[in-house]
Each structure stands twice: as C-alpha cells, then as structure tokens.
C-alpha cells in the first residue's frame, strides 16, 4: 500500500518483465472466452436477456469524457480515503461474485489473499464457494465486507449474519436486485446453475441453522442439501418493512446494493441505512434497464451527505473510476475484471488486475490535473454530444 504510485508501471519498465496478464484489462474477456470452459465463461460474462443492459453500462461510460486541466501541482498526490470505517488506498473494492471456484480451484481464497496483500477490501458473496470463515482467514489483516442474499429462512439469515460478524466482516451489503434469478441465456443454454452442482452453496452447507433444518446430515445426502440451499435463495416477499430485522442483528454499517432510482435511494436513507450501491447487477438481472452510470448523478444529488453512495456495474479501467467519482460516488466496486484475472492466472491474475487498475486510475487522475479525490467534481468531465 505504501509503494510509489507509479510502482507497477515502473516495475514493468525497469525489470523488463510484464505482468501476469495484458496491461489492457479490456482484453481479459476475450482471453477468458478462449481459455475457460464455455459454461464457466458464460456464467461470469453473461447478462440478462439480450444483454442490452450490460451493453448500456459500457455505453453510459462512453457518453462522458474527461477534461484534463494543465499546470496543477500533482507532485504529491493522495488518493486514500475512509468509507464506512474502511480504509481505502484507492477508491475501489471487490464486488461480490459467487462461485469463484468455477474459475480457479483456489476461488475466493486466492481473491482474499490478493486483495488483502494490496489493501483492497473484498466483499464476499453469500454464494461463495468457500465458507466465509476460511475466506476471512485467507485475507489475514485485509478488510472485508459481507454481502447477503436474504434467504427465505430467517433463522438461516440470522445465523449467516452472526457468523460474518464473528469473522470480522465489518460492513453488511444487502443485494436487493436478485430476489430471483434473471433470464440468463448463457446459463440456460448450458443448463448450468453452479449452486446445483454444489459450487456456491458452502456458506449454507456449513451453517448450523441450515444444517439443523435438514432431515439428514449433509454427508449422508449432499444432493438433497444442495437442492435445499438453492431453493432457499431469494425471498420475493421482502419489503422495506423487513429492514429492521437486519439492523437488530448487525451493529455495523449496512449498505443496500442494487439501487437505481432516486425514490429507492431516499427510502434507503429513511430506513436508516448507511449507504447504497448504485448498481444493476452488471446487467445480469433486468434486460433493457438503465445504464448504472446514468442512474448515479440524480441519486448522488438527492442524497448529498446523508448516506454513502458507492457505484457498481461496468467499471473496466481507471478512467471509468474517475467518471463514477466525478458523478458522485465515493468508491467503485470491481467485478468481472478480477473474476477473469482469477480464471486466467489465479491469485497472480487477481493481483495484476488490482495493481493495474490502481496504477491506471492514479496516473489518469494526475494527468487530468487532480492531486486528490477532493479535486474531482462534475466539472472534471463533460457529456459527449
């Protein structure tokens, strides 16, 4: 975390040794398509329906352009911040991605090690393919948040929260936009749902409340236990009135992920939530939806300082991070790029993605004339005609 800002670029030039993967992170998807099993690539890369929302996420970023300013002093840059009590060396966290052992045998353990070593907080998915306690151990002193897919069984939900707190996960992220799975052609064409193959069910299969509700031990009938975990995913009956259940069982910050409207953002504040993530699940849930970046400015303006606004969906490079921050986000969540890095080169691949993103962001900030996060504003960017 205390290396010079240009350290990764300098390291490559001075040693003559490039990173584990290409420096252009936009090329990772093509490499992953060629190297990963089709059903695995489809699960990571696929979107809902025609993929229109996923494409719109990228298009929303392209509609904004950075306006560099000259002759500003960027000799002593500082891009660290604190978000919901979490120290960020750069304004990014790892988004929750389930079933990462699909991409690499080490799965979430490799991600936790890489993220922890670089000071990037990891948000662990409920649908992790490794039990949350093991991920916490792998992350060492790394900062970590826990993402909850609210299960139908309230006792299991409470148990998951208790375990996460005991394992020192500091912030709870409740995902709202996956009450049920969207129509995902890539997965449907392969009849591929990882949790039904036991990948992504580990937090359930190791949970005391979940196991107590099974008619027989997991070891005696693993298939039945796995099916039960899949059936527990998502509760379409949830409403805003259910949120006190979380506050009563979690004494740290709570963030709602999947907010795309001003009205919902305001309801989150009224419900006493500490933050929101403006996100459309990377285009995996609603086809034909709004680009996440287009949803960000009015939401950030409506909330002001009343809640922490984070951003997710479509971030692929340092310039994208700058645009999201200039439009009101405090930090961004990185998703598919690190999953591709994991699938292509394991822990080294994740580390490469994180170092490349950070160095790209920091260099682009300075070249745009910004020495600190406070220098960013809507004036930093302009809307393309």
Give the C-alpha separation, 230 to 168, whole Å: 26
Q: What is the pLDDT of residues 36-86, one digit of tens each?
A: 999 999 999 999 999 999 999 999 999 999 999 999 999 999 999 999 999
pTM for the whole structure: 0.97
Given the residues 104, 186, 281, 352, the one annotated as active site:
281
Region 170-194: mean pLDDT is 97
Region 356-369: mean pLDDT is 97
DSSP 197-251: GTSS-HHHHT-HHHHHTSSS-TTT-HHHHHHHHHHTS--TT--GGGTHHHHHH--
List the Cα angle 195/208/94 in 5-degree steps. 50
Tokens of 289: 């939806």
Architecture of the domain delimited by 31-375: Alpha-Beta Barrel (3.20)
Q: pLDDT above 70 covers what percent of the chain?
A: 98
Give the C-alpha separation, 344 to 348, whole Å: 9
- Does the pLDDT of residue 1 top 80, yes or no? no
Q: Hunting for tokens 């707190």 — which residue is that?
A: 165
Give the C-alpha separation, 256 to 278, whole Å: 9
What is each CA distance from 115 to 74, 81, 123, 291, 343, in whole angstroms? 27, 17, 10, 28, 15
Split at pLDDT 50, 70, 90, the class of 6 is: low
pLDDT given for residue 20 in this prediction: 86
pLDDT given for residue 19 in this prediction: 87
Q: Which residues in 305-321 are b (16+ Cβ under 10 Å) and which e?
A: eebbbbbbbbbbbbbbb
pLDDT given for residue 5 in this prediction: 44
* Average pLDDT value for the chain: 96
Q: Where are the domains of the chain?
A: 31-375
Give the C-alpha separation, 375 to 379, whole Å: 10
Strands 331-334 and 308-311: parallel
CB atoms near residue 274 (< 10 Å): 17
Cβ atoms of residues 345 and 20 within 8 Å: yes
Is residue 281 part of the annotated active site? The answer reads: yes
Q: Is 345 helix (H, G, I), strand (E, B) or coil?
A: helix
Compute, in degrees rounded to 10, the torsion defined by CA atoms 343, 347, 351, 354. Answer: 50
Q: Is 26 exposed, middle or buried (0-12, 13-18, 19+ CB in 10 A)?
A: exposed
Query: Comparing 5-14, 19-28, 221-230, which segment has the lowest mean pLDDT?
Result: 5-14
Give the C-alpha separation, 103 to 337, whole Å: 12
């Amino acid at each position: 975390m205390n290396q010079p800002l240009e350290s990764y670029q300098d390291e490559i030039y001075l040693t003559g040794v490039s990173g584990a993967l290409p420096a252009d992170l936009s090329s990772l998807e093509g490499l992953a398509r060629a190297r990963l099993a089709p059903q695995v690539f489809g699960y990571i890369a696929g979107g809902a329906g025609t993929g229109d929302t996923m494409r719109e996420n990228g298009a929303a970023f392209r509609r904004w352009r950075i306006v560099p300013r000259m002759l500003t002093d960027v000799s002593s840059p500082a891009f660290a911040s604190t978000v919901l009590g979490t120290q960020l060396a750069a304004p990014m966290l790892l988004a929750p991605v389930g079933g990462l052992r699909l991409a690499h045998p080490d799965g979430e353990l490799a991600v936790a090690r890489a993220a922890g070593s670089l000071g990037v907080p990891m948000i662990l998915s409920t649908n992790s393919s490794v039990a949350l306690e093991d991920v916490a151990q792998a992350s060492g002193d790394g900062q970590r948040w826990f993402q909850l897919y609210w299960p139908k069984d309230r006792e299991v939900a409470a148990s998951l929260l208790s375990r996460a707190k005991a394992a020192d996960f500091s912030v709870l992220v409740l995902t709202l936009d996956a009450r049920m799975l969207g129509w995902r052609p890539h997965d449907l064409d392969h009849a591929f749902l990882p949790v039904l193959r036991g990948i992504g069910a580990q937090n359930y299969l190791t949970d005391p409340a979940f196991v107590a509700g099974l008619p027989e031990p997991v070891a005696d009938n693993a298939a039945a236990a796995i099916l039960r975990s899949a059936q527990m995913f998502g509760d379409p009956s949830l409403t805003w009135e259910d949120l006190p259940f979380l506050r009563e069982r979690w004494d740290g910050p709570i963030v709602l992920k999947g907010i795309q409207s001003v009205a919902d953002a305001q309801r989150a504040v009224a419900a006493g939530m500490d933050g929101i993530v403006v996100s459309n699940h990377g285009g995996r849930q609603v086809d034909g939806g709004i680009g996440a970046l287009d949803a960000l400015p009015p939401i950030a303006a409506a909330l002001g300082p009343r809640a922490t606004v984070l951003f997710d969906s479509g971030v692929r490079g340092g310039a994208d991070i700058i645009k999201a921050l200039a439009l009101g986000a405090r930090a961004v969540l990185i998703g598919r790029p690190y999953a591709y890095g994991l699938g292509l080169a394991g822990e080294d691949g994740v580390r490469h993605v994180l170092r490349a993103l950070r160095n790209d962001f920091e260099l682009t900030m300075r070249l745009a004339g910004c020495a600190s996060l406070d220098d960013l504003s809507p004036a930093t960017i302009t809307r393309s005609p």
